[in-house]
């Protein structure tokens, strides 16, 4: 292999390499790291974020940004808890993704009809959605202690949590959609060159709306899992998750300029962030250094993938 | 302010040559721009006139030869140094900040300030500058609200504010009305009267003849001749632009269309983008050319017919039936496609592999229930790669690394994937190598022989004459004449275009 191909390889798989390095290091430093329980726990804890990052991948590939998924998460959390208490627990869990889908569609329609950058539009809708969640919950916690509600976040099928299965299924469906379907092709084309996509007869606005709708759906689904797990709905849920999701997508190597990327990359990005956290926990390291370390790792990953590119 | 005495050379260019990524676009140009002279640069599209202008202004660096500016050898010649030596360039696309005022734009970068805090002296400074130069504009008007002619005056004032002694104007009249052109010419004369020089790059020969002192003609990157304007006729310029004894690759023989069965007819097409009532028709197996100067509305007419732009008036009859609500997807379904002129911006998606690029407009055909049928898609893409001899011949090749010629083959292949009945080709061989050009020409003839109707748009008149059965001349968004390519040569076509160009311009409303 020439130096150039090695560099290309490193750039493409930077995130996997860093995960491998981190896993080996943590395995040496702690006996408890390579236990099935620890690994499943990492996945389980991060399933909601991984679901959101998977859908965020499509938004970013199509050339957009969604800063409102944290607030859609809050809306999902509050409304599913409220519906579970006042209507039916199963209905509550079901409605979180439905509401997410609706709010995501609103995002897409606002962006394409007003022709504003998604960055700006979703900052605005983010505040609106969060505001509605606060009003709906009256600023209070909504506890839901029913087995019919908590199974989604706490139950297991075999050794593995239901939440992990949901995440795997969701990521697999999106991967299939991106790689094998007409919709996937159109998503890549919209982010790669919108004018050429339009001239190819693609209704690019519809594709953009669909990616935001999916991001909303994912945030709703993630909130259902999280609320069910902690058996509590509140408007402050999901705060900051939009930035974590975007960080994971970019960390995985999906291009911030659109047109290039993959769902597995974002899952890997989530895992990398999760491993850093997990390392601090099992090593009993000073948590004051956590943000600093995370920031440095993100910077390193970005540096590797940008290195040599002109 | 020191002005060199009239007649002495302001710029001497010796053996200037320019290459872009190994391709030579300008060779051995030697000329003097005299102080107090308006010097015209003319030539066909791609002859190198703009390139030369940009070399003088420091935007392109010459790969050979040297420049001498006011007696000093120019080293490290870039826009900044050029300006410092009194050479300014006015681009075709004006480089103004639309949200700022006239005065702010004129003094952009040379603001009067104390410790970084602006002093509000701009309006006064501008008044002084306008008094001495004879231009008048409202210093406080916002640039975005002004007509283009006024914006050009701002560019000139901006050059004067930096005491420019040579101003290169690159195609300054392309979006001006007749009255505005006259204003600009007056401005040039004022500059000349002050002993300043203007390098006037344009493809409007009448404009060049009206105002210049000398004219340099370029052809295929080489300097043909420098004329004294007073002793020169338009026909002299045209024959110099064309030259004699062209060494072109031969065009494939024309096959005569079998039946004259009209497949596409357009009547009085108008669009906001620039079609101004165009009517044309194309028969099965026929190659019809659209010839016009840059900005004549060739592409815009085609875009309005195919549904890329919304037509505001006119009708299209496709295979005998009216086709009223047009969209790109509907046109593709009906076998009417257009290969756009700019493969990077409008044609290919550089982040997608070859196969996915080709099938993008045809996903409906290559899919079932929304899932792409990779086998059928690969089979058809492989056929096209083979047909056009695309190199490298890889189905999922990274198209962004392909040469211009191979990208163009992929782009044409993309639009031929579903065997369309009518194909619009906009600049099909622009910026491609000789081999690809020949293959593309052969493919166009093969398509016509197989019964496809072709509308060929090209700024290379020669290409249209060599390939088309019939050709329309286009000016100001309308068809002004129909010609037989076999009974015309480049000179007669060019002369006709310049003839109609004058006529079209007179009719344009004064803005």
pLDDT tens-digit series, residues A149-208: 999 999 999 889 999 999 999 999 999 999 999 999 999 999 999 999 999 999 999 999
Tokens standing for residue A290:
């956590």
Determine how β-strand A160-161 pairs with β-strand A156-157.
antiparallel
Euclidean distance between CA atoms B358 and A110, whole angstroms = 32
Angle of the A36-61 helix axis to the A204-230 helix axis, nearest 10: 150
Taking the CA of residue A112 and the nearest CA in chain B, the distance in Å comes to 19
Gap between the Cα atoms of B35 and B275, Å rounded: 42
- Give the confidence band of B177 by pLDDT, cuts at 50, 70, 90: confident
Dihedral pair phi/psi, residue B140, rounded to 5°: -95, 0
The strand pair at B72-73 and B64-69 is best described as antiparallel
Q: How confident is the model at residue B258 (pLDDT cuts 50, 70, 90)?
A: low
Average per-residue pLDDT in chain B? 87
Instruction: Tally C-beta pairs within 8 A across A and B.
Output: 78
Q: Is residue B505 very low, low, confident or very high in pLDDT (cuts 50, 70, 90)?
A: very low
State mean pLDDT over A27-33: 89
B182 or B504, higher pLDDT: B182
User: Residue range A234-263: average pLDDT?
Assistant: 92
Q: How far apart are the first and last CA of chain B?
A: 35
Compute the average pLDDT of residues B53-78.
88
Using the beta-carbon criterion (under 8 Å), do A195 and B328 form an inter-chain contact? no
What mean pLDDT comes out for the span B269-277? Answer: 93
The residue that leads in pLDDT, B243 or B187, is: B187
| Nearest-angstrom CA–CA distance, B477 and B277 | 7
Chain A residue with CA closest to B373: the answer is A180
The reported pLDDT for the residue numbered B361 is: 95
Q: Is B312 helix (H, G, I), strand (E, B) or coil?
A: strand
| pLDDT score recorded for residue B21 | 65
* Structure confidence at residue B249 as a pLDDT band (50, 70, 90): low
CA dihedral A27, A32, A35, A41 (to 10 degrees): -110
Both tokens assigned to A15: 């995130």
CB contact under 8 A, A192 and B327: no
Contacts 24+ apart (CB under 8 A), B179-185: B179/B510, B180/B147, B180/B148, B180/B149, B180/B510, B180/B511, B181/B207, B181/B505, B183/B149, B184/B149, B184/B152, B185/B210, B185/B211
Among A181, A200, A258, select the one facing B371 at the smallest CB separation: A181
Find the distance separating the first CA and the last CA of chain A, reported in whole Å: 21
Q: According to the model, what pLDDT value does residue B244 have? A: 61
Nearest CA-CA distance, residue A215 and chain B, Å: 20
Radius of gyration of chain B (CA): 25
B36: left (phi over 0), alpha (psi -120 to 50) or beta: left
CB contact under 8 A, A186 and B363: yes
- CB–CB contact A188 B308 (8 Å): no
Query: Is the backbone peptide bond immediately before B392 cis, with ω within 30 degrees of 0?
Result: yes
Query: Is residue B252's pLDDT more than 90?
Result: no
Beta bridge partner(s), residue B31: B13
Q: How long is chain A? A: 310
Total Cβ atoms within 10 A of residue B170: 23
Nearest-angstrom CA–CA distance, A166 and A173: 11
| Residue where the block lists tokens 């509550």 | A92
* Closest by CA position to B358, among listed B334, B394, B330: B394
CA dihedral B365, B370, B373, B378 (to 10 degrees): 70
Whether pLDDT at B433 is above 80: no
Main-chain phi, psi angles of B198, to 5 degrees: -125, 130
Q: Hey, is the C-beta of B356 within 8 angstroms of any chain A C-beta?
A: yes
pLDDT given at position A58: 98
Q: Are strands B336-339 and A232-233 parallel, antiparallel or unpaired?
A: unpaired
DSSP E strands in B410-494: the ranges are 422-426, 453-457, 470-475, 478-483
Q: Closest partner residue to B361 among A192, A201, A203, by Cβ?
A: A201
- Contact, A42 vs A274, CB < 8 A? yes
For residue range A216-228, list pLDDT tens digits in order: 999 999 999 999 9
A159-164's contacts with Cβ under 8 Å and 24+ in sequence apart are: A159/A36, A159/A40, A160/A40, A160/A43, A161/A40, A161/A43, A161/A44, A161/A47, A163/A44, A163/A47, A163/A48, A163/A225, A163/A229, A164/A40, A164/A43, A164/A44, A164/A47
Q: If DSSP codes are grouped into helix, strand and coil, which group holds residue A142?
A: strand
pLDDT for B508 equals 41
E strands within A24-82?
none
Is B340 part of the contact surface with chain A (CB cutoff 8 Å)? yes
Cα separations in angstroms, B461 against B47, B57, B342, B427: 13, 30, 18, 11
- Looking at residue B502, its pLDDT comes to 57
Task: Report the residue of B302, B347, B349 to disrupt the A interface, i.e. the one with the largest count of A CBs within 10 Å.
Answer: B349
Q: What is the dihedral of CA A193, A199, A202, A203, to 10 degrees?
A: 90
Rounded to an integer, what distance in angstroms lies between the CA atom of residue B115 and that of residue B138?
28
Q: Give the confidence band of A2 by pLDDT, cuts at 50, 70, 90.
A: low
What is the C-alpha to C-alpha distance for residues A198 and B345, in angstroms, rounded to an integer?
11
The set of residues, in sequence order, having a beta carbon less than 8 Å from that of A80 and lying 6+ positions away, is A92, A93, A95, A96, A223, A224, A227, A228, A233
Give the per-residue pLDDT at B5. 53
pLDDT for B2 equals 43
Q: Residue-wise over A124-151: b if at least 16 C-beta within 10 A, else e? A: ebbeebbebbbebbeeeebebeeeebbe
Report the distance separating Cα A246 and Cα A60, nearest Å: 9
pTM, full prediction: 0.77
Model pLDDT, residue B372: 95
How would residue B245 be classed by pLDDT, with cut points 50, 70 and 90?
very low
Question: Cα angle at A8 between A4 and A14, to 5 degrees?
Answer: 140
What values do phi and psi take at B309, rounded to 5?
Answer: -115, 150
Say which of B308, B350, B367 has its CB closest to residue A192: B350
């Amino acid at each position: 292999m020439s130096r150039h191909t090695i560099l290309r390889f490193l750039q493409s798989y930077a995130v996997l390499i860093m995960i491998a390095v981190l896993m080996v290091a943590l395995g040496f430093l702690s006996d408890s790291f390579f236990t099935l329980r620890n690994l499943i726990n990492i996945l389980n804890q991060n399933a909601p974020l991984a679901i959101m990052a998977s859908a965020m991948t499509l938004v970013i590939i199509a050339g957009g940004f969604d800063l409102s998924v944290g607030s859609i998460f809050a809306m999902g959390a509050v409304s599913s808890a409220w519906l579970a208490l006042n209507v039916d627990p199963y209905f509550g869990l079901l409605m979180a993704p439905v509401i997410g889908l609706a709010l995501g569609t609103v995002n897409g329609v606002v962006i394409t009809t007003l022709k504003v950058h998604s960055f700006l539009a979703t900052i605005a809708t983010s505040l609106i959605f969060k505001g509605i969640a606060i009003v709906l919950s009256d600023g209070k916690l909504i506890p839901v202690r029913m087995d019919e509600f908590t199974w989604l976040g706490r139950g297991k099928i075999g050794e593995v949590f239901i939440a992990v299965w949901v995440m795997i299924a969701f990521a697999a469906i999106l991967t299939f959609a991106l790689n094998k379907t007409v919709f996937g092709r159109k998503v890549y084309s919209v982010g790669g060159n919108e004018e050429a996509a339009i001239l190819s007869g693609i209704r690019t606005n519809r594709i953009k709306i669909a990616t935001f709708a999916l991001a909303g759906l994912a945030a709703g689904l993630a909130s259902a899992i999280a609320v069910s797990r902690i058996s509590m709905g509140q408007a402050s849920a999901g705060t900051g998750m939009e930035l974590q999701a975007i960080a994971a997508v970019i960390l995985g190597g999906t291009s911030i300029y659109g047109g290039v990327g993959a769902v597995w990359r974002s899952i890997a990005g989530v895992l990398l962030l999760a491993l850093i956290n997990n390392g601090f926990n099992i090593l009993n390291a000073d948590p004051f250094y956590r943000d600093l370390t995370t920031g440095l790792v993100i910077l390193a990953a970005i540096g590797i993938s940008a290195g040599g590119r002109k | 302010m020191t002005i060199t005495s009239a007649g002495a050379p302001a710029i001497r260019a010796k053996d200037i040559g320019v290459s872009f990524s190994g391709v030579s676009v300008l060779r051995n140009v030697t000329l003097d721009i005299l102080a107090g002279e308006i010097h015209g640069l003319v030539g066909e599209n791609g002859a190198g006139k703009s390139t030369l202008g940009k070399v003088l202004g420091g935007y392109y660096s010459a790969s050979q030869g040297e420049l001498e500016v006011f007696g000093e050898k120019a080293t490290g010649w870039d826009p900044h140094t050029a300006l410092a030596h009194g050479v300014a360039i006015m681009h075709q696309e004006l480089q103004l900040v639309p949200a700022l005022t006239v005065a702010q734009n004129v003094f952009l970068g040379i603001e009067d300030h104390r410790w970084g805090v602006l002093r509000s002296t701009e309006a006064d400074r501008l008044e002084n500058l306008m008094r001495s130069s004879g231009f008048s504009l409202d210093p406080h008007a916002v640039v975005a609200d002004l007509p283009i002619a006024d914006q050009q005056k701002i560019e000139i004032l901006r050059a004067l504010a930096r005491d420019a002694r040579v101003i290169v104007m690159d195609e300054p009249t392309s979006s001006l009305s007749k009255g505005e052109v006259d204003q600009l010419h007056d401005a040039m004369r004022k500059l000349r009267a002050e002993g300043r020089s203007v390098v006037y790059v344009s493809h409007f020969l009448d404009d060049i003849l009206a105002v210049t002192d000398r004219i340099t003609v370029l052809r295929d990157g080489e300097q043909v001749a420098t004329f004294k304007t007073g002793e020169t006729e338009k026909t002299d310029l045209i024959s110099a632009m064309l030259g004699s004894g062209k060494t072109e690759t031969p065009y494939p023989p024309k096959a005569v269309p079998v039946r004259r069965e009209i497949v596409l007819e357009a009547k009085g097409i108008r669009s906001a983008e620039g079609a101004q009532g165009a009517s044309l028709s194309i028969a099965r197996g026929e190659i019809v050319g659209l010839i016009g100067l840059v900005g004549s509305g060739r592409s815009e007419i085609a875009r309005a017919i195919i549904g890329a732009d919304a037509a505001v008036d006119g009708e299209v009859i496709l295979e005998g039936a009216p086709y009223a609500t047009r969209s790109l997807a509907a046109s593709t379904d009906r076998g009417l496609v257009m290969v756009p002129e700019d493969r990077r911006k409008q044609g290919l998606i550089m982040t997608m592999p070859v196969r996915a690029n080709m099938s993008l407009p045809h996903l409906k055909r290559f899919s079932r229930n929304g899932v792409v049928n990779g086998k059928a898609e690969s089979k058809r893409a492989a056929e096209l790669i083979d047909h056009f001899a695309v190199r490298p011949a890889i189905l999922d090749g990274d198209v962004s690394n392909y040469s211009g010629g191979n990208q163009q083959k992929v782009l044409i292949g993309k639009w031929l994937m579903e065997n369309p009945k009518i194909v619009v080709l906009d600049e099909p061989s622009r910026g491609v190598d000789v081999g690809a050009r020949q293959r593309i020409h052969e493919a166009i003839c093969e398509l016509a022989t197989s019964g496809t109707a072709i509308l060929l748009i090209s700024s290379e008149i020669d290409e249209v004459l060599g390939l088309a059965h019939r050709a329309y001349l286009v000016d100001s968004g309308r068809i002004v004449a129909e010609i037989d390519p076999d009974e015309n040569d480049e000179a007669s076509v060019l002369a006709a275009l310049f003839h109609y160009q004058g006529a079209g311009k007179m009719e344009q409303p004064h803005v």
